[in-house]
Amino acid sequence: MSTERRSTRQRAALIEALGTSLRFRSAQEIHADLRDAGSPIGLATVYRNLQNLAADGEVDQVRAEDGEVRYRACGSGHHHHHLVCRGCGRTIELTAPDVERWSEALGAEHGFTNVQHTLEVTGTCARCS
Amino acid sequence: MSTERRSTRQRAALIEALGTSLRFRSAQEIHADLRDAGSPIGLATVYRNLQNLAADGEVDQVRAEDGEVRYRACGSGHHHHHLVCRGCGRTIELTAPDVERWSEALGAEHGFTNVQHTLEVTGTCARCS
DNA sequence: GCGTTAGTGATAATCGTTTTCATGTTACTC
DNA sequence: GAGTAACATGAAAACGATTATCACTAACGC
Ligand SMILES: [Mn+2]
Ligand SMILES: [Mn+2]
Ligand SMILES: [Zn+2]
Ligand SMILES: [Zn+2]
C-alpha cells in the first residue's frame, strides 16, 4: 500500500505533533493539541490522516480499554509491542521473539493459517507509583 | 466483588444462551438470538447482565477489531488466551505460561508494578481455508 | 401476603467515529 | 504563470455501540 499522498499544511502539522509526543493519544486529544498549538485543523481531517498514516505504517494504533483508539509514532517501523503506564501513558517498545514463535507454532498446531496476534502490556511506572 | 444477584427469567435465559455457544458474540447478536429463540428480553438487560457476568468472572470478553465487545462463556475460569478463527469464530483456549513470565519480568525490569497484559491470536482455521 | 429493593425495558442520551458534500489545494501540463 | 483534474479539507449531519433514565415489575426476606 505504498501511497502517494499530497502534502498539506494539516498533514504536516499532524506528523509533527505526532513526532513530538511519547504517549499514545486519541484523535480528539491530538486535535485539541493541534488547535491549542495554533494549527487550525478539522476533526475529520485528523481522523482521516491518522488512519492513512496507520495504513502506511507511519503510526501505531492501539485500542484502549474504553474502546478509544490511540495513536503514536513509534521508533521502529517493524512489528513490536508496548509496555504502557496506566498512570502517565509513558510507553516502552518491546520485542517478543518468543511470543512470535509461540503464536505461530500454536496456530499451525491447530491447523490455523494466516496467524496474527495482538499483545499489549500495561502497568504503573516507577514515577507513578 | 462476589455478588448476590437475584435470579430472573432473563438472566437464566442469557446464561443458557451463553452456555450453548462456542463463539464470541456481541451483546446485540446474543440479544437477537434470544429473541429468535422465544425468550423476549430487553437489549439493556442483555448489556447489564453480560457486564455483571463478566465482572463476576462468568464470561470472557474481548474487543473485536471494529471495537465491538464480544462475550463467551469459557471452560476455564482462570486466566487464559484465545485463538480465534476470523472466518467462523471457532475459538480455542490457550495458556501461555512463557508469556506470563515474560511480561512480568519485563515490567519489573522497567520498574513497572501491577503489570497486566492482553494477548489474542487470530487466524483462519482449517475448515475455513 | 407485604414491603423493600434489585431487575427490567422502552426510550432517550452519549460519544467516538464516519459520511456527506460544497469548497479549497495540490500536482501537473502547456 | 494559467488551466485543470483529482485529491484534501471541514462544518455539519449521520451512524452505531453502549449507557443512562425512569416508571414499572418481580425476587427475596420477613
Ligand atoms: Mn508480536
Ligand atoms: Mn496471559
Ligand atoms: Zn507513569
Ligand atoms: Zn473457521
In the A/B pair of chains, how many CB contacts fall below 8 A? 97
Arithmetic mean of pLDDT, B109-121: 96
What's the CA gap between B128 and B75, in Å, rounded? 23
**Domain at A1-75: CATH code:** 1.10.10.10
List CB contacts (< 8 A) between A99 and chain B: 96, 98-99, 102, 119
CATH of A76-129, one of 3.30.465.10, 2.60.40.10, 3.90.950.20, 3.30.1490.190: 3.30.1490.190
**pLDDT at residue number A20:** 84
pLDDT digits (tens, 9 = 90+) for A62-121: 999 999 999 999 988 899 999 999 989 899 999 999 999 999 999 999 999 999 999 999
In chain B, whose CA is at the least distance from the CA of A91?
Answer: B110
Cα angle B103, B109, B115 (rounded to 5 degrees) comes to: 40
Query: What is the grid cell recorded at A129?
Result: 507509583
Q: How far is CA A114 from CA A62, A97, B44, B72, B129, in A?
A: 21, 18, 37, 23, 10
Q: Which ligand is nearest to the CA of A121?
A: 2
What's the CA gap between B20 and B9, in Å, rounded? 17
pLDDT digits (tens, 9 = 90+) for B6-19: 999 999 999 999 99
| Bases on strand C under 7 Å from any protein CB | 6-11, 16-20, 25-27
pLDDT digits (tens, 9 = 90+) for A25-69: 999 999 999 999 999 999 999 999 999 999 999 999 999 999 999
What's the CA gap between B24 and B70, in Å, rounded? 5
What DSSP designation does B68 have?
A: -
On whether any CB of chain A is under 8 Å from the CB of B89, the answer is: no
What are the extents of the domains in chain B?
Answer: 1-75, 76-129
Chain B interface, mutation test: which of A112, A114, A117, A124, most B Cβ atoms within 10 Å? A112
Q: How far is the CA of B19 from the C1' of C9 (A)?
A: 24
Edge-to-edge strands, sheet with A60-63: A25-26, A69-72, A60-63
Q: For strand D, is any atom closer than 7 Å to the CB of A50?
A: no
Chain B interface, mutation test: which of A82, A91, A103, most B Cβ atoms within 10 Å? A103
Q: For strand C, is any atom closer than 7 Å to the CB of A26?
A: yes
Whether residue A121 contacts residue B103, with contact meaning beta carbons closer than 8 Å, is answered with yes
Q: Residue A12: which residues within 8 A CB-CB, separation 6 or more? A: none
Entry pTM: 0.92
Q: Residue B53: which residues within 8 A CB-CB, separation 6 or more? A: B14, B15, B18, B59, B71
Q: How far is the CA of B98 from the C1' of C15 (A)?
A: 39
**pLDDT at residue number A2:** 44
Q: How far, in Å, is the centroid of ligand 1 from the Cα of B31?
A: 35
**pLDDT at residue number B17:** 97
pLDDT digits (tens, 9 = 90+) for B64-111: 999 999 999 998 889 999 999 998 989 999 999 999 999 999 999 999
Cα angle B20, B23, B27 (rounded to 5 degrees) comes to: 85
**pLDDT at residue number A110:** 97
CB contact under 8 A, B115 and A123: yes
**pLDDT at residue number B2:** 45
Q: How far is the CA of A14 from the C1' of D16 (A)?
A: 27
